[in-house]
């Protein structure tokens, strides 16, 4: 079955989907995006993703391309047309098409919107959870507004590629000895005392939707969560470490920069958070 994409009001064959060469997302990374997990044909945490999308757009002074309810219809229709049962749906909104100029274009310039959906390999995802994953660390050289989910991801791309070349799953950014977040994930550790630690999301990291839900999951399980920065040394001495994202939920980390974490196996806290995640996450209607 051929894939389908939504581009500026039209559902088109994925192979033919295109935006204008002067779209500001292409020329300036002047846009934002969201990625929602699809489970059983339904979006996970649609409401939270829509709220974060609107915040990102406000921070960049880009207008919503359509009301959230209408956008939800587009997302669901894209999922349906691609027959995705287990996978992801990707949404991107840019400031639109205009003559290349650093200044904002005319206020009547319409935002551009692209939506795609695809299935993911659930067996592969399950295997990574069963065996755990390795990560490396890299210097955090990104701009300060990483709390906005923009399409300007070149430092993240370079970090992820470095991880791939090192045989690792992810790269953690480190600034002044403190872990900030992963190339496309939030970073967590479990201390020897059993506390779950992750960096505060007021600034310096993206407020991950999965991260937000995991706070509720941890509370339901009676686990202690500390929102504070943690050093790379703390991570290396931790009982467990794991990463979270919409596309992978929770993935246990068993080594950092080649050094074994805990007993070198996925830990019980990470596994229990993953197992209980969908008891708390919100499922959108089909």
SS (H, E, C) 141-164: CCCCCCCCCECCCHHHHHHHHHHH
Concatenated DSSP letters for 184-224?
SSEEEEE-TTS-EEE--SSSSS---HHHHHHHHHHHHTT--
Q: In sequence order, what are the residues at sequence separation of 6 or more whose Cβ sits closer than 8 angstroms to the Cβ of residue 106?
A: 98
Q: What is the strand order of the sheet 10-13 is part of?
A: 10-13, 4-7, 112-119, 86-94, 31-39, 42-43
Q: Tokens for 181, please give them.
A: 């977040």
CB 172 within 8 A of CB 184: no
**Residue (of 169, 215, 220) closest to 196 by Cα position:** 215
User: Contact 243/196 with Cβ under 8 angstroms?
Assistant: no
Residues marked as catalytic: 149
Coil, strand or helix: which one is 122? Answer: helix
């Amino acid at each position: 079955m051929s894939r389908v994409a939504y581009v500026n009001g039209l559902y088109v064959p994925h192979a033919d989907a295109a935006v204008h060469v002067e779209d500001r997302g292409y020329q300036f990374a002047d846009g934002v995006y969201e990625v929602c997990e699809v489970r059983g044909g339904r979006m996970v945490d649609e409401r939270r993703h829509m709220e974060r999308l609107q915040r990102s757009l406000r921070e960049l002074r880009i207008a919503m391309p359509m009301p959230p309810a209408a956008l939800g219809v587009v997302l669901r229709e894209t999922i349906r047309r691609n027959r995705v049962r287990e996978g992801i749906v990707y949404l991107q909104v840019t400031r639109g098409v205009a003559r290349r100029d650093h200044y904002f274009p005319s206020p009547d310039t319409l935002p551009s919107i692209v939506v795609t959906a695809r299935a993911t390999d659930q067996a592969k995802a399950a295997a990574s959870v069963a065996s755990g994953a390795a990560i490396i660390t890299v210097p955090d050289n990104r701009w300060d507004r990483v709390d906005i989910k923009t399409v300007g991801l070149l430092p993240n791309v370079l970090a992820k590629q470095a991880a791939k070349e090192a045989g690792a799953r992810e790269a953690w950014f480190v600034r002044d000895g403190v872990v900030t977040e992963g190339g496309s994930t939030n970073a967590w550790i479990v201390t020897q005392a059993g506390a779950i630690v992750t960096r505060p999301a007021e600034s310096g990291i993206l407020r991950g939707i999965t991260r937000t839900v995991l706070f509720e999951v941890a509370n339901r399980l009676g686990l202690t969560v500390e929102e504070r920065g943690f050093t790379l040394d703390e991570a290396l001495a931790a009982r467990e470490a794991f990463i979270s994202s919409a596309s992978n939920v929770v993935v246990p980390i068993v080594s950092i920069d080649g050094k074994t974490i805990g007993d070198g196996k996925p830990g019980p806290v990470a596994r229990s958070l993953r197992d209980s995640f969908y008891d708390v996450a919100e499922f959108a209607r089909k």
